[in-house]
Amino acid sequence: MHIKLKIFGKGILDVSPLMIPVVPFGIIFGVIGMELGIGPYMTFGMSIIIFGGASQIVLLQLFSGGASSLVILSSVGAVNSRHLLYGAVLSENLSSLKLTWKIILSYVMVDQAFAVSNEYFKRNKKNKNKHYHLLAAGFTCWTIWQFSTFVGIALGSIIPDEFGLKFAIPITFLALLINDFKKIKNVIVMLASGLIATLGYNIIPFKAYIIVASLSALLIATFLTNMKLKNK
Amino acid sequence: MHWSLIIYCGMITFLTRFSMIALLKRDTFNEKTKIVLTYVPSAIFPAIIFPLVFLDNNGFIELESNSRILAAIIAIIVGYFSKNIIATIFSGLISYWILIFLIAY
């Protein structure tokens, strides 16, 4: 038990620095949920049920723009498709666990938890209790996310509309991309996605511009990846 | 907004996390697919960012006296050099507020 507790503590410690940007992100989500009139219960419910910041904001954004449920669902799926990669990378380390463990760990496997636990797993391949690290990192993210959503809901009923907090949505997503600004191939993919979404906003039916733009940009990414492999 | 929509979104999100851990054996994805998946944020987030920055409330492209464009450029510059998420968010929001409240751009 002592060993498990120690690994659990290590998970909390490792993920903590990554929690700093999660706080404003969660607050912004809560504030925007209130500003769009979703109400405190549903805004908080989204954080509990979905527990995926970027997809929650996409849900709010598309819902307020009058998109259909099908478009909203597929956009949320597209935004979260990056988790497929996380699962594929971690599956090797989690394959021997019971189904209950896999369900719990899947629920909390967010970007930050994946990042630190993947590093920990690489260094502790033979440790039988290493999944406690992911559990701790994931639940730290969960707690911080719920707390900051709550603060955002409280603030959302105070902050006046004139502050234009809707602008916090593009700025927050922009901040999530800063590590890729120096990679030319990523910048090409970003520009393609952004231009297709902007120019197609009024042309693409059913508000499906996010899906159409991101799939087109992923095709370009595939093309760029192929080029890279050939160069080797 | 219906609770059912939130629950469906929750189920889809859960499945993206659960499916690979539970259902697939190791090395399901080849190297190339893994590389392409790393582009997912770059492919999706700009599709959300650009329309919110460049389009007005009626969905028309707004290039003149658009304080969002300037504020986004400032945030990009700060993000590029600082690599700090919080600095990026605050520089973007604060320059936006300065532009709309003080300069009335």
Q: What is the pLDDT of residues A56-96, one digit of tens each?
A: 998 998 898 888 999 999 989 988 888 887 888 788 788 88
pLDDT tens-digit readout, A111-128: 889 888 988 998 898 888
For residue A206, pLDDT over 90 is answered with no
Around A141, how many Cα atoms within 13 Å sit in the side-chain half-sphere?
28
DSSP state for residue B61 in the 8-state scheme: B
> Of the given ranges (A43-47, B24-28, B29-33), which has the lowest mean pLDDT?
B24-28
H helices then E strands: how many in chain B? 5, 0
- Res B13: pLDDT: 96
- Res A150: pLDDT: 96
* Closest-approach residue (CA) in chain B for A39: B1
B19 vs A228: which has the higher pLDDT:
B19
Q: Is the pTM of this model over 0.90?
A: no
The pLDDT confidence band at residue A168, using thresholds 50, 70 and 90, is confident
Burial class (CB in 10 A: 0-12, 13-18, 19+), B57: exposed
- Average pLDDT of the residues in A155-178: 83
Residue B55 phi, psi dihedral angles, 5° rounding: -100, 145
ipTM, interface predicted TM-score of the complex = 0.88
CB pairs under 8 A between A and B: 268
DSSP state for residue A204 in the 8-state scheme: S
Q: What 3-state class would DSSP assign to B44?
A: helix
A102 contacts in chain B (CB < 8 Å): 18, 21-22
Q: B residues 42-71 near A, CB within 8 Å?
A: 42-55, 59-61, 68, 71
- Res A56: pLDDT: 95
* Closest-approach residue (CA) in chain B for A170: B49
> Distance from A110 to chain B by nearest Cα, in Å?
8
Q: Positive or negative, the Cα torsion across B20, B26, B29, B35? A: positive
Q: What 3-state class would DSSP assign to B55?
A: strand
Look at residues A115, A90, A69, A55 and name the one whose alpha carbon lies nearest to residue B14: A55
Burial class (CB in 10 A: 0-12, 13-18, 19+), A154: middle
B24 vs A159: which has the higher pLDDT:
A159
Cα separations in angstroms, A27 against A24, A31, A137, A149? 5, 6, 20, 5
B20 contacts in chain A (CB < 8 Å): 83-88, 90-91
Cα–Cα distance between A38 and A23 in angstroms, integer? Answer: 20
Look at residues A181, A99, A156, A97 and name the one whose alpha carbon lies nearest to residue A131: A97
> Distance from A222 to chain B by nearest Cα, in Å?
6
Cα–Cα distance between A159 and A13 in angstroms, integer? Answer: 33
Cα separations in angstroms, A107 against A41, A212, B39, B94? 20, 28, 23, 35
